[in-house]
Amino acid sequence: MKFYDPRSSQEEIEREEDEDEETKTLNWNLEVLADVFPDITPSALHDMLSNVSAESRMEIVADAALRGGLSKYSTPPGQQDAEAEKDKEIALEEEKFKTPQYQKAVKAVCYSEFKSLKPRHIRQVLKENHLSYRRARPVLLKMDAPRPRWMFLRSSKTVNADSHPYIITLANGNLAVRCTGSAVLDRELYTLFVQPVMTQRRRVQEARDRAYARLLNASEAAAADSLYECECCYDSVPFEDITFCSAKEQCHTLCSTCVQRTVHEAVYGQGWARTADVNHGTVKCFAPSASECHGIISADQVCQALCSTGANSAADWTTFSSRCAEASIRESRLAVHNCPFCSYAEAEYEPSSPVWPVLRFFFYLAMHVFLGMTEFKTAEMLRSSLRRIRLKRHGLKFHCQAPGCGITSCLRCSAQWRDPHVCFEAKLTSLRTAVEDSATDVVKRTCLSCGLAFVKESGCNKMKCTCGHSMCYLCRETIDDGYQHFCQHFRERGMGKCESCDKCELYGEQNVDEEVQTAVEKTQAKLHDEEPELKPRPSNVELWIDYFIEWIA
């Protein structure tokens, strides 16, 4: 009996696909059309390619798509997000045309797996799902569900990895795929049934080995009297589980467990301000000593303490590092391009030529002499002009380099980039979203330090963010003087505005309905005055400034 070998599968798959020239050409046409028309589902393109003649096949489908014949199969604009993009890549792989070997093998596998179903029913389901085993199997499972007792003769059990006719358990306990005659289907069965089970087993085994190694190491260290005492929880742990702070006067020893709990509290609790050292991207020393310790725990030690215990702690370290990077970028006040789908950011293009200070001086002088503008307006126009020139040189397409994202977006409208891209394509949706956002901004509050959005459910109006920043819920200003920001005159709650001062009420409430209505009316009036592109075009003076600066640069 021959089994599927993942190490040599790619060569067999390429050999199988190269044998049938017709299938290879159809798949190439499908990939090209999916790239040119990303809004059309791969299933619709597959059906069109199947129903036209081989002569000028791709040209006919492209012409139908350009004329709007496939518009009903397009993805709605609201669903064009990161998850939809990943799902489309999987769908494209499933919608590829199958080789004759795959078509023959998938029928044999389904006949063996679903013996209670009639072959003609199985063939019909496979045809409806373009002969894809991954897509047809859930449908066949529903059809093969257990029947009532009076139909016990045709009842059957749901087939899983343990009872699948083509999944074999070897003598060593590992699972293997019995070859079906198609390397493509063998890989599909391996991905569906064997790979998840083997991955889970490997994770469980690694966790057991890690726990046993830590236990063995602790017992050997105790026997050799080589344990260290944590100055936070006072537990005795081996050297491998100890971290040290950087204080020169008195170096504190802290165990990995305390470091994990501290980072978890900083990320998900209220300990960010007193725990995180944004300048070094690590954790401050939290040893309970008589005098405050100004040392830090190196980032390498924190990473080792978190990543050596499991995936959850490793995810905490990733989140902690991302928040430190965001805080550093925010404090640097650099002009950056932000990915709208994740926290990734890139610094904007900054001209480094020595002529820029001289150009800025003469530009201000010319604006004051010839146009009589104020200093603030002049600086604002110069900054706007420089930003337009940067976007022109950089281009509107922004590709995120984050490993878990990788989405291409537009710097102008912040939408996902889909060729051919048109900014603000769904104008009515954009108008409605702008009005809804204006109403939402009245209700929610945003931290002026970290940008976290929140809403008060109860309590006083002094709000403290997880980053340590305090602000007033009514006027949204930063609070630096404690409760002195609020009215200090005594009176009963609910008596209205104080007549002796103009300070905010500690327990006052806002008129949400009235403020929401005012914000919506202002937004609607503003949008009606703007151009259809939602953002006004530069004036003639601004275009002249752009041309002059670009010519000098």
Residue from 169, 158, 166, 159 nearest 201 by CA = 169
**Residue 382 has what pLDDT?**
64
Tell whether the model's pLDDT for residue 13 goes beyond 90: no
Tell whether the model's pLDDT for residue 287 goes beyond 80: yes
In order of their start, the domains of the chain are 21-94 (no CATH), 229-332 (3.30.40), 427-529 (no CATH)
Give the C-alpha distances (Å, rounded to integers) separating 140 from 94, 148, 163, 403, 426.
17, 18, 16, 36, 39
Tell whether the model's pLDDT for residue 532 goes beyond 50: no
**Residue 155 has what pLDDT?**
44
DSSP string, 185-209: HHHHHIIIIIHHHHHHHHHHHHHHH
Helix, coil or strand: residue 2: coil
Per-residue pLDDT tens over the stretch 148-194: 544 444 444 445 566 789 999 888 888 899 999 999 999 999 999 99
Tell whether the model's pLDDT for residue 305 goes beyond 80: yes
Tell whether the model's pLDDT for residue 91 goes beyond 70: yes
Q: Report residue 123's pLDDT band, with 50, 70 and 90 as the boundaries.
A: very high
Tell whether the model's pLDDT for residue 289 goes beyond 80: no
Please provide the average confidence, as pLDDT, over all residues in the chain. Answer: 80
DSSP string, 351-417: ---THHHHHHHHHHHHIIIII---HHHHHHHHHHHHHHHHHHHH-SEEE---TT---EEETTT-PBP
* Whole-number Å distance between alpha carbons of 294 and 304: 22
* Token representation of residue 433: 């979203």
Phi, psi torsion values for 464, nearest 5 degrees: -120, 120
**Residue 103 has what pLDDT?**
92
**Residue 105 has what pLDDT?**
93
CB atoms within 10 A of CB 133: 25
Q: Report residue 480's pLDDT band, with 50, 70 and 90 as the boundaries.
A: confident
Mean pLDDT of 268-283: 89
* Whole-number Å distance between alpha carbons of 553 and 544: 14
Per-residue pLDDT tens over the stretch 185-238: 999 999 999 999 999 999 899 889 988 998 999 999 999 999 999 999 999 999
Rounded to a whole number of angstroms, the CA Rg of the chain reads 32
Per-residue pLDDT tens over the stretch 341-353: 888 888 876 655 5
Return the C-alpha torsion angle 447, 339, 436, 526, nearest 10: 100
Tell whether the model's pLDDT for residue 106 goes beyond 90: yes
Tell whether the model's pLDDT for residue 63 goes beyond 90: no
* Whole-number Å distance between alpha carbons of 545 and 358: 16
Tell whether the model's pLDDT for residue 27 goes beyond 60: yes
HSE, side-chain direction, 13 A CA sphere, residue 364 = 11
* Whole-number Å distance between alpha carbons of 156 and 145: 7
- Greatest mean pLDDT among 158-162, 313-317, 360-364, 538-542 lies in 313-317
Give the C-alpha distances (Å, rounded to integers) separating 470 from 273, 278, 294, 549.
11, 18, 24, 42
Per-residue pLDDT tens over the stretch 403-445: 878 888 888 778 888 766 777 665 556 667 777 777 888 788 8
Return the C-alpha torsion angle 200, 205, 206, 212, nearest 10: 150
DSSP string, 157-186: PPP-TTT-TTEEE-TTS-EEEBP-S-HHHH
Considering the chain, what percentage of its residues have pLDDT values greater than 90?
21
